Structure 1
Amino acid sequence: MSSVCVNQALTDDELRWVLTRLDSDKDKEVFGLVCKRWLHLQSTDRKKLAARAGPHMLRRLASRFTQIVELDLSQSISRSFYPGVTDSDLVVIAEGFKCLRVLNLHNCKGITDTGLASIGRCLSLLQFLDVSYCRKLSDKGLSAVAEGCHDLRTLHLAGCRFITDETLKSLAERCRTLEALGLQGCTNITDSGLAELVKGCRKIKTLDINKCSNVGDAGVSVVAEACASSLKTLKLLDCYKVGNESISSLAQFCKNLETLIIGGCRDISDESIILLADSCKDSLKNLRMDWCLNISDSSLSCILNQCKNLEALDVGCCEEVTDIAFQDLGSDNVLGLKVLKVSNCPKITVTGIGKLLEKCISLEYLDVRSLPHVTQVRCSEAGLEFPKSCKVNFSGSLTEPDVLL
C-alpha cells in the first residue's frame, strides 16, 4: 500500500479534535512540534497563557496565540523586588489580546493608573482582573477599568492602599454584574463606600474586606440586606469596628452564607452567634472567629449542634471556651468537620478533645497548639484515637490548611 500523509488525510477541524483529546499540557506542546501546520493549529487553539515577557515578546505572543482568553502575568512574592509588568506592557496586552476575559497582574508593582486606562479602553470582554498589591494604583485607574469593562465579575484589589470609596461608586454605576470583590487592606474604604457599592452591585457572592479598619456595623449591615440572596462569603478579619449588629444583620438576611471570617472582631459575643447558627444552619461551611474573646461555650455548642454542614471552624484564642462546648453534643450527631482549630484555649482538656473525636470521624486537621492540658503524651495516655487521615498539630510543625484565610 502506498503511504498516506496525515496532513493530506485530515482536515484542520479533525486535527483540532485530536488536540482537544490530549490531556496533558506536555502532550499539547509536543503536538505543535510536528510541523508548522500543527504548530499554527496548536497556537490558535490555545486559550490560556502564563508568561513573563517585555513588549517585544508580548507582541509576538499576541500574534501567535490569537484566541487567548486567560493571561497570567502575576509575580510570586519571591520576585517582589522586580516591578513585573509595566504600563508599556499593558498597552501591548490591551491592543494585542482582544479576547481576554481573565487577566492576572498580582504583585506587578510597576503598573500605574496609565496602564489600567489601556485595559479599560481595549478589553471590553474582561470578566476577571487581579491587581492585588499593585501599590501605585488609585481610583483614577480603577474608574477607567469600570468605565470600559462593564462585564467585570471578579476584581481583586488587596493591598491597593490608595483605593477609596470613589472606586466602589464607579463599580456600582458601571459593573452591575460584579460577583466577587477583594479589598483586603484597603484602609480608605468606609461604610459609605460599601453603601454606594451595593446600590448597583446586588449580585455580590464574595466580599473580602479583611483588615479594612474603617468598616463597621453600618457598612456590613447594608451589604447584608442588599445582597441577601447572593452573598455566600464574607471576610471581616481584624475589622475591629464590627460587632453584634453586623452578625445579627447577616443572620436576618443572608440565609445562604457559607463562609464567614470574623477573626479579631472582639466585640462579637454569644448572642449574635447563636442567631447566626440558627439562621444559617443549612448553609454555613466555614467559620473563623479566633480572638473573638467574648465567645463562650453556649454559642460554640449551638454552632456544633445546628450547623450540620460545617467543615472548618477556628476558635483559637477564645479563652472562655471549655470542654462543656463539646459535651453537649447530641448522642446521634456525627459532625462533618474536616478542619478544627482550638489553639490557645487554655480551658480545653483531653476530655473535651476526646468527646469531640467521638463525633468528628472526618477530621483531617486538628490544631491544639498551646493547650496546657492537651499534649501528645497526655492524648496517648488517655487512649485517644484520631482519624487515620487526621494531622494533629501539637507544636506548629504542620502546614496549616488555607481554607480559613
Structure 2
Amino acid sequence: MASPSGGESGSGAVPVCINEILTDDELRSILSKLDTEKDRELFGFVCKRWLHLQSSERRKLAVRAGTHMLIKLATRFFRVSELDLSQSVSRSFYPGVTDKDLYVIASNFRGLKVLHLQNCKGISDVGMIELGGGLSSLQSLDVSYCRKVTDRGLEAVAKGCHDLRRLQLAGCRLITDLALQSLSENCQRLEELGLQGCTSITDFGITQLVKCCKKIKLLDISKCSNVGDEGVSNVAKSCSLNLKTLKLLDCYEVKDESIISLATYCKNLETLVISGCKDISDEAMKSLASACGSSLRKLRMDWCLSISDCALSCILTQCRSLEALDIGCCEGVTDAAFNGLESGGVELGLKVLKVSNCHGITVTGIRVLLDKCRSLEYLDVRSCPRITKAVCDEAGLQFPERCKVNFDGSLSESNVYAI
C-alpha cells in the first residue's frame, strides 16, 4: 500500500487501495501495454473490476461453445467485433455450430464485424437468415464448406449486411448465379469474394456480380468449371482500377481472351493463378507481362501446357516486381527461357521458384538463374531428372544462403511459399 503523499507507509499512514487511485482509463492504458495473451488473462484475475475491464476490451474471440455458453460469452465480452467458431478439417464430421447458435449470435453480438464459420456443417439457410436480420454491421463472413447454405440464405445476408467487404463461400456447391446477383444489388462495397469449387456459378453470374460490385480486389473462382472468357473479361473491365488478385485454378474454359482482357484493363494486377488453363498461349502471356510488368508479384501457371520458352523469357525480363513463380509441368519450357537474362543487366527479385516436372530445364538454366536471382528463398525442382542434388554439387552450384531447395519432396512446403 502507498501513503497519500506517495512515501513509504509508516505507522500513521492511511492505506490506499490501487482501485481508489486509478481510473478506468488508466487501467485500460496499463492493459494495453501488456504484450502477451497470458499477461492479459492474469490482469483479469486481480479482482472483478479488472476482469470486467479486461472483458470489455476484448475484440476477438475464438471459441468452441454451445448455445448457453455463447449467451454467457456475449454478456462478458460485449464489445467483441470478431468471432471465430470455425472447425478444423479433422473435426468436419461434427456439425459444430448450428442454426440455433447463429440465432444467439445474431441476437447478442450485434456489433460483430467479422464472423468465421468454416467447416460448420450444421449451418443451413435458417441460420443465415438470422445473421442477415441481426448483424447489420457485418463486414466479413466466412462460411466455406458449409454445404447446406444455398442462394436463399446468402440472399438474406446480402440484404441485411450492406457493409459486407469480404465473403468466403469456398465449397458451397449449392450457391448459384442468383446469389451473385443479390450480392451485386445489395453489397456494392464488396472487396474480396471466394467462390472456389462453386461449380454452379457461370459467366452470367460473374457478369451480374461485377455490374455493381466494382471495388473487388480479390476474386477466387478456382474450379468454377462453367466460368470462361466472357465472365473473366467482364471482371477485368468492371474492376480494372481495383483488381489485385485473380485465381482461376482449373478453369478449363479460360483462354487467351481472358488474359488479353486482363492485360488491357488491369494494370495493377499483383497475383494471378491460371494453373491448369491449358489453352493459354505464349502470345497472351507476353501481352500480360508487357502490361503488368511493374505490378505483377505472384504468378502461378503450372500445367499451362501451351506455354514455352518465349513466354517465360518475356515474363522474367519484363516483370521486375515478380517474387513468386510456378511453372511446374510446363513441358515446353527449357534452359533457353533463361538465355535472355545473360545478356542484360537484369537483377531478379524472385524469392520463390517452382519448376517441378520441367524435364527441359537443367543445371545450366538454374546456374544462369542463380546468377541473376540472389534473393531466392525457395526452389522446387522435384521430378526434374537433370537437376538432382548430386548433379548440382558436381556442377558446383552456389545457392543463396537462405535458399531451401526441394529436390525430392522430403522438404515440407510451408504456406510461406504458397502462391
TM-score w.r.t. the length of structure 1 is 0.99
The equivalent residue for 1:393 is: 406
State yes or no: 1:323 paired with 2:335. Answer: yes
The equivalent residue for 2:3 is: none
The equivalent residue for 1:379 is: 392
State yes or no: 1:178 paired with 2:190. Answer: yes
- Choose which of 231, 240, 243 in structure 2 pairs with 1:219: 231
CA RMSD of aligned residues (A): 0.8
The equivalent residue for 2:254 is: 242
1:399 Cα offset (Å): 2.1
The aligned runs of 1:264-303 (5 Å cut-off) are 264-303=276-315
Is the Cα contact below 8 Å between 1:282 and 1:309 reproduced in 2?
yes
The equivalent residue for 2:120 is: 108
Is the Cα contact below 8 Å between 1:288 and 1:404 reproduced in 2?
no
Equivalenced residue count is: 405
Counterpart CA distance in 2 for 1:270 and 1:325 is 12
The equivalent residue for 1:124 is: 136
1:241 Cα offset (Å): 0.3
1:104 Cα offset (Å): 0.2
State yes or no: 1:370 paired with 2:383. Answer: yes
The aligned runs of 1:131-280 (5 Å cut-off) are 131-280=143-292
The aligned runs of 1:41-60 (5 Å cut-off) are 41-60=53-72
1:404 Cα offset (Å): 4.1
1:334 Cα offset (Å): 1.2
The equivalent residue for 2:18 is: 6
Counterpart CA distance in 2 for 1:114 and 1:9 is 51
1:247-290 CA distance string (max 9 Å, x none):
00000000000000000000001000000000001100000000
1:25 Cα offset (Å): 1.0
1:331 Cα offset (Å): 3.3
1:324-381 CA distance string (max 9 Å, x none):
1112114311111000000101111110111111011011110001111111000000
State yes or no: 1:69 paired with 2:81. Answer: yes
1:174-197 CA distance string (max 9 Å, x none):
000000000000000000001100
Counterpart CA distance in 1 for 2:411 and 2:161 is 42
Q: Which amino acid aligns with 1:76?
A: S
1:8-39 CA distance string (max 9 Å, x none):
11011110111111111111101000000000
1:214-251 CA distance string (max 9 Å, x none):
00000000000000000000000000000000000000
1:80 Cα offset (Å): 1.3
Counterpart CA distance in 1 for 2:112 and 2:412 is 35
The equivalent residue for 1:26 is: 38
1:78 Cα offset (Å): 1.3
Counterpart CA distance in 1 for 2:131 and 2:205 is 24
Is the Cα contact below 8 Å between 1:286 and 1:404 reproduced in 2?
no
Question: Which protein is bigger by CA-based radius of gyration?
Answer: 2
Counterpart CA distance in 2 for 1:401 and 1:270 is 30
| Contiguous gaps of at least 5 residues in structure 2 | 1-8
Counterpart CA distance in 2 for 1:116 and 1:163 is 13
1:298-348 CA distance string (max 9 Å, x none):
010111101111000000000010001112114311111000000101111
Q: Which amino acid aligns with 2:327?
A: V
Q: Which amino acid aligns with 1:152?
A: L
1:4 Cα offset (Å): 2.5
Q: Which amino acid aligns with 1:64?
A: R
The equivalent residue for 1:338 is: 351
State yes or no: 1:359 paired with 2:372. Answer: yes
TM-score w.r.t. the length of structure 2 is 0.96
Counterpart CA distance in 1 for 2:20 and 2:288 is 66
Counterpart CA distance in 1 for 2:37 and 2:272 is 36
Q: Which amino acid aligns with 2:267?
A: K
Counterpart CA distance in 2 for 1:368 and 1:327 is 19
Counterpart CA distance in 1 for 2:412 and 2:325 is 17
Q: Which amino acid aligns with 2:120?
A: C
Question: SS in structure 1 opposite 2:51?
Answer: helix
Q: Which amino acid aligns with 2:256?
A: N
Q: Which amino acid aligns with 2:155?
A: S
1:401 Cα offset (Å): 3.9
